[in-house]
Structure 1
Amino acid sequence: MNAYVFPGQGAQFVGMGLDLYEKSPIAQELFEKANNILGFHITDIMFEGTPEDLKQTKVTQPAIFLHSVILSKVLGDSFKPNMVAGHSLGEFSALVANGALPFEDALTLVSKRALAMQKACEVTPSTMAAVLGLADADVERLCEETEGIVVAANYNCPGQLVISGEVEAINTACEKMKEAGARRALVLPVGGAFHSPLMEPAREELAAAIEATKFVTPTCPIYQNVTTTAVTDPTEIKKNLIAQLTAPVKWTQSVEQMIADGATLFTEVGPGKVLQGLVKKINKQSVVASAEIPAE
């Protein structure tokens, strides 16, 4: 069974999407449509901007979404997912890929999500940190024992968790993780505490936008970050998408469930190869690939 997976924030690079734009009339049309929907020329930033320009949340999230979704459209008839999943932001790309959301509505939601998250980041000084080489249970316990807001936010693969919370609490937790034997506990260059209770204002804002958007029954199940199980019911998809902003991204558990349900090939659609690396660390036997632009 073919599982298609879609990356989240952090996969961006300068020049992303330019090859798609130059090779495909479908891509050109969708990129121009995106410029109109967003109200600014995101293509200029994606194709020619600096890494700093691309790092702004209001740019990063739509840029990664566009790269992933437009690539899936360019694949044409060869794109036949039996199941999909996305890492955080990638869940929106996955929902266009399986037909639950139209391109335009999903891009509008992604843009609103990015702006709401940016706003929430400005309320409380907050950040995230990668913890390598500790068991999940130890990371969770040390977060609970740390004063202030700090939670396990991304279960990326065994021995690789990201924690999220207030700056001071993160710094304290990192020291505790190292003392407990973590190989590394490294503060990440991100704008705020994604997938933590500090994203509550953004969750409320996005909830209204998601509730007002029509979702339909998809062509194949999505394995959502919050539940990790196959979901096809539009009402449940919406609920999980809203919860995702303040809940952890359970990527390890989602991939394990997809394998249990018959996934034999994981194809990453979008910039970079981060998810392929994670899938391999979750299950060495899994076959992984990158989606490629079809030859002329």
Structure 2
Amino acid sequence: MNAYIFPGQGAQFSGMGLDLYENSQLAQELFEKANKILGFNITDIMFQGSAEDLKETKVTQPAIFLHSVILAKTLGDSFKPDMVAGHSLGEFSALVASGALTFEDGLKLVSQRALAMQKACELQPSTMAAVLGLEDQVVEDVCKQIDGVVVAANYNCPGQLVISGEIEAINKACEALKDAGARRALVLPVGGAFHSPMMEPAREELAAAIENTTFSKPNCPIYQNVTASAVTDETEIKANLISQLTAPVRWTQSVEQMIADGATLFTEVGPGKVLQGLVKKINRASETISATLESNN
């Protein structure tokens, strides 16, 4: 069974999407439509902007979403997922690719999500840190002992977990985790504590937008970050999507469940190969490939 997976923030690169724009009439039309919806020419930043330009939150999230979704749409008949999943932001790409959301609604929600997250980051300084070489349970236990907000945010693969929370609490947790035997506990260059209670203001704002958006039954099950299980019910999809901003991304568990449910090939749709690397660390036997425009030829 073929699982299609969609990357999240951090996968962006200068020049992303230009090959799609130059080689596909459909891609060109969708990029132009995106410029109109967003009210600025995101294509200029994606195709010619610097890495610094692409880092701006209002740009990063829509840019990665557009690259993934437009690539999926250019695959035409060869795009036949048995299941889909996306890492954090990538869940929105997965929902559009599987037909649960329209391209337009998906882009609007991603844009609103980016701005809401930016606002939440500005309300209270917060951050994230990558922890390598410890079991999940040990990281969770250490976080519980720290004063202040610090929680497990991204279960990326065995031995790689990202924690999220208040700056002081994260710094204390990093020291405690090193004492507990972590190979590394490194504060990340991010704007805030994503997938933690610190994102509650963003969750409330996005919840209203999601409630007012029409969702359809997806063409195949989507393995959502919050539950790490197959979901096809629109009401359930919405509820999980609303919870996502303050809940952890259970990527390890999602991939394990997809494999248990029959996934043998994981196709990454979008910029970079980060998710393929994580899949291999979760299960070395799984086959992984990148979706390319050529698949349509």
- TM-score normalised by the shorter chain: which range applies? over 0.9
Q: How does 1:121-270 map to 2 (within 5 A)?
A: 121-270=121-270
Cα displacement (A) at 1:224: 0.1
Runs of 4+ in 1 over 3 A off after TM superposition: none
Deviations 1:102-136 (A, max 9, x none): 00000000000000000000011100000000000
> What is the rounded CA distance, in whole Å, between the counterparts of 2:49 and 2:9 in structure 1?
17
Alignment match, 2:105: 105
State yes or no: 1:271 paired with 2:271.
yes
> What is the rounded CA distance, in whole Å, between the counterparts of 1:65 and 1:256 in structure 2?
24
Alignment match, 1:51: 51
Number of equivalenced pairs:
296
Which residues of structure 1 form unaligned runs of 5+?
A: none
Deviations 1:24-51 (A, max 9, x none): 0000000000000000000000001111
Alignment match, 1:8: 8
Q: Secondary structure at the match of 1:112?
A: helix
Deviations 1:111-165 (A, max 9, x none): 0000000000001110000000000001001111011100000000000000000
| Corresponding letter in the other structure for 1:178 | K
**Identity across the alignment (%):** 80
> What is the rounded CA distance, in whole Å, between the counterparts of 2:125 and 2:101 in structure 1?
34
> What is the rounded CA distance, in whole Å, between the counterparts of 2:218 and 2:45 in structure 1?
32
Deviations 1:53-109 (A, max 9, x none): 100111000000000000000111100000000000000000011100000000000
| Corresponding letter in the other structure for 1:70 | I
> What is the rounded CA distance, in whole Å, between the counterparts of 2:108 and 2:293 in structure 1?
25
> What is the rounded CA distance, in whole Å, between the counterparts of 2:170 and 2:54 in structure 1?
25
> What is the rounded CA distance, in whole Å, between the counterparts of 1:202 and 1:142 in structure 2?
27
Q: Secondary structure at the match of 1:249?
A: coil
The TM-score, its normalising length taken from structure 2, stands at 0.99
Cα RMSD after superposing both structures: 0.6
> What is the rounded CA distance, in whole Å, between the counterparts of 2:180 and 2:227 in structure 1?
29
The TM-score, its normalising length taken from structure 1, stands at 0.99
> What is the rounded CA distance, in whole Å, between the counterparts of 1:19 and 1:184 in structure 2?
37
> What is the rounded CA distance, in whole Å, between the counterparts of 1:76 and 1:171 in structure 2?
47
